[in-house]
């Protein structure tokens, strides 16, 4: 007599579940009679039959199937609640040849992850989704799910789901099938052997669509959670077949597989050289004609922060300085930060200037140059000033001389008063720009770089106020004025 296995443990599972804590390594962690196990077997069997395990990623959701990656012998990702679609999108876009299987519960897909899911379906992402509709939040102990039936008693609908207060159960298959992109949408149930065989067919079809790269395939699986629905496994199937399928009819909702061509999308590149080129490309307007500056201070990252009230021109001062760096062929970043109000609130911006690439645009420590135009900004940002940092402040509003540490410099100019005298308080920032120029000239710039300051400032001002000739002219003058006053004071 010869005996061969006709049906046995699917090869798409690990032989033993070593990642599972405890001594039970052959079983999954689901409750007796849980639908997750039945569906897992169908997926594992299909993966092995199709020989795709080495290029398949199974995305475990949050829910009872959170540890599905303990079981499937393929690549695994475990994503935050509802984020399956986002992860799947990244995976298929970056690795178009890989097979991607999304697996989500009704809480995960139809509640917290609903938008992400619908958008991915609508984009026709190249992956397949198995949606376990068990009409309940299983993992957390039986709260109402978007797919809980009307009248269904759950931990959070103890009197039964009421359409007036909780709305109607979401018909996900019906919704998805209305979208243009999805290729295949079917609802199946893990109940009678006949229904399970239909589910098996659907699982295989969805995976095959993904293997052929034909786009988004979706299978909704009515599945039992006998524990939280407080039913014996046999009654569970009856509930699904008699109650759930009335509201969630089984069947194919959409199938355009035959008409669809494989979806081919541009593949992002991860080559180091390409990424660097994309990130640190020569900026438009940044011109190579200007030779770069030789002053030593630009040999390392120069970190600048400017703070004041919104409306004082804090952000545009930063923008002008960033533009100046650009015109001297340096890499620059400008990061504004301000409250919801346009004026009157606090505002600050961070500017980084560097010959080499810039990593993060944030300046919250080791600041080389701190420019403050009011008292609260001084109090707030002085602790961020680095060891040999320079503080420049408007002494028309900040009367006390700030206490800087040894090694740091505090340089004052009454920029507000000067601007007012000049005829426009709004030019205080340009006065400050000139003052910065004078300070740099005196302490940090080579004569060649210092000689270029005014010309560069003018180009940057002209760019920042493009089309407003009067304002450009006024700011250039204010900048010159600030330069002269500061030079005289230093």
Partner 1 sequence: MSQTVKKTFRCHPEPDECKGCGRCVSACPKKLLKLGSALNIMGVPYAEYSGEGCVGCGACFYTCPEPGAITIYEITPEA
Kindly list the residues in this chain that would bind partner 1 in the complex (CB under 8 A). 1-10, 13, 24, 26-28, 30-38, 40-42, 44, 71, 192-193, 196-197, 200, 226, 232-234, 237
81's contact among Mg ion, ligand TPP, ligand SF4, none, with CB below 5 to 8 A by partner kind, is ligand TPP
Q: Which is nearer to ligand TPP, 136 or 315 (CB)?
A: 136
Between CA 122 and CA 116 the distance in angstroms is: 10
Q: Which of 39, 52, 64, 433 binds ligand SF4 (CB under 6 A)?
A: 64
Minimal distance, residue 355 CB to ligand SF4, in Å: 57
Classify burial at 183, counting beta carbons within 10 Å of its beta carbon; exposed 0-12, middle 13-18, buried 19 or more: buried
3-state SS, residue 430: helix
Q: Which of 10, 12, 37, 63 binds ligand TPP (CB under 6 A)?
A: 63
CA distances from 1 to 7, 8, 456 (A): 18, 19, 93
102 is a contact residue toward ligand TPP (CB under 6 A): no
Q: Which of 10, 76, 102, 107 binds ligand TPP (CB under 6 A)?
A: 107
Minimal distance, residue 67 CB to ligand SF4, in Å: 11
Q: Which of 57, 84, 92, 134 binds Mg ion (CB under 5 A)?
A: 134
27's contact among partner 1, Mg ion, ligand TPP, none, with CB below 5 to 8 A by partner kind, is partner 1
Q: Which of residues 19-38 bind ligand SF4 (CB under 6 A)?
A: 30-31, 34, 36
Minimal distance, residue 345 CB to partner 1, in Å: 59
Question: 486 — alpha (psi -120 to 50), left (phi > 0) or beta?
Answer: alpha
316 CB-side CA count, 13 A: 21
Picking from 7, 212, 216, the residue whose alpha carbon sits closest to that of residue 130 is 216
Eight-class DSSP state of 349: E
Stretch that binds ligand SF4, among 44-52, 131-139, 173-181, 322-330 (CB under 6 A): 131-139
220 is a contact residue toward ligand TPP (CB under 6 A): no
116 is a contact residue toward ligand SF4 (CB under 6 A): no
Q: Which of 57, 89, 104, 134 binds ligand SF4 (CB under 6 A)?
A: 134
Number of other residues whose CB lies within 10 A of the CB of residue 3 = 5
The answer for residues whose C-beta is within 8 angstroms of residue 360's C-beta and 6 or more apart is none
C-alpha radius of gyration, the chain, whole number: 32
Binding string, residues 111-150; x marks residues near ligand TPP by CB under 6 A: -x-------------------x-x-xxxxx----x-----
Between CA 383 and CA 13 the distance in angstroms is: 56
The dihedral through the CA atoms of 247, 190, 199, 64 has a sign that is positive
449 is a contact residue toward ligand TPP (CB under 6 A): no
Q: Which of 102, 124, 138, 325 binds ligand SF4 (CB under 6 A)?
A: 138
81 is a contact residue toward ligand TPP (CB under 6 A): yes
Q: Kindly compute the dihedral angle of the four CA atoms of residues 198, 200, 201, 206, in this order, to the nearest 10 degrees.
A: 120
Q: Which is nearer to ligand TPP, 63 or 318 (CB)?
A: 63
Q: Which residues are bridge partners to 76 per DSSP?
A: 58
| Residue in this structure with the two tokens 């000067």, named with its chain if needed | 418
Q: Which is nearer to ligand TPP, 140 or 245 (CB)?
A: 140
């Amino acid at each position: 007599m010869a005996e061969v296995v006709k049906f046995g443990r699917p090869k798409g599972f690990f032989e033993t579940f070593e990642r599972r804590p405890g001594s039970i390594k052959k079983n999954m962690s689901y409750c007796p009679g849980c639908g997750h196990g039945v569906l897992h077997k169908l997926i594992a069997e299909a993966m092995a039959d199709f020989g795709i395990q080495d290029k398949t990623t199974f995305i475990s959701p949050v829910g009872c199937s959170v540890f599905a990656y303990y079981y499937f012998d393929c690549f695994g990702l475990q994503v935050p609640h509802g984020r399956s679609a986002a992860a799947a999108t990244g995976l298929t876009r970056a690795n178009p040849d890989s097979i991607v299987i999304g697996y989500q519960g009704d809480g995960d897909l139809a509640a917290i992850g609903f938008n992400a899911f619908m958008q991915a379906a609508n984009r026709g992402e190249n992956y397949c989704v198995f949606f376990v509709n068990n009409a309940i939040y299983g993992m957390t102990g039986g709260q109402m799910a978007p797919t809980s039936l009307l009248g269904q008693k759950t931990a959070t609908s103890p009197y039964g789901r009421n359409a007036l207060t909780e709305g109607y159960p979401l018909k996900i298959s019906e919704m998805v099938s209305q979208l243009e992109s999805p290729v295949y949408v079917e609802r199946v149930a893990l109940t009678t052997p006949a229904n399970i065989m239909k589910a098996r067919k659907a699982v295989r079809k969805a995976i095959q669509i993904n293997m052929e790269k034909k786009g988004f395939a979706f299978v909704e699986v009515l599945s039992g959670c006998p524990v939280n629905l407080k039913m014996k496994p046999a009654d569970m199937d009856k509930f699904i077949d008699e109650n759930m399928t009335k509201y969630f009819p089984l069947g194919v909702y959409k199938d355009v597989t035959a008409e669809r061509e494989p979806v081919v999308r541009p593949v992002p590149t991860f080559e180091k050289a390409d990424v660097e080129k994309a990130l640190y490309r020569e900026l438009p307007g940044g011109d190579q004609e200007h030779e770069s500056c030789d002053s030593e201070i630009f040999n390392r990252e120069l970190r600048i922060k400017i703070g004041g009230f919104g409306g004082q021109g804090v952000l545009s001062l930063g923008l002008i300085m960033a533009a100046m760096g650009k015109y001297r062929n340096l890499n620059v970043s400008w990061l504004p930060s301000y409250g919801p109000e346009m004026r009157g609130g606090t505002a600050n911006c961070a500017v980084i200037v560097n010959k080499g690439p810039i990593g993060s645009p944030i300046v919250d420590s080791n600041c080389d140059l701190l420019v403050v135009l009011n008292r609260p900004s001084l109090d707030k940002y002085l602790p961020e000033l680095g060891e040999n940092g320079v503080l420049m402040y408007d002494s028309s509003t900040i009367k006390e001389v700030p206490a800087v540490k040894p090694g740091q410099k505090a340089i004052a100019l009454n920029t507000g008063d000067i601007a007012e005298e000049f005829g426009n308080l709004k030019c205080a920032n340009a006065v400050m720009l000139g003052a910065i120029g004078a300070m740099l000239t005196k302490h940090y710039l080579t004569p060649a770089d210092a000689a270029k300051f005014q010309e560069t400032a003018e180009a940057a001002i002209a760019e920042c106020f493009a089309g407003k000739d009067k304002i450009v002219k006024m700011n250039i003058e204010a900048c010159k004025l600030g330069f002269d006053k500061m030079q005289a004071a230093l």
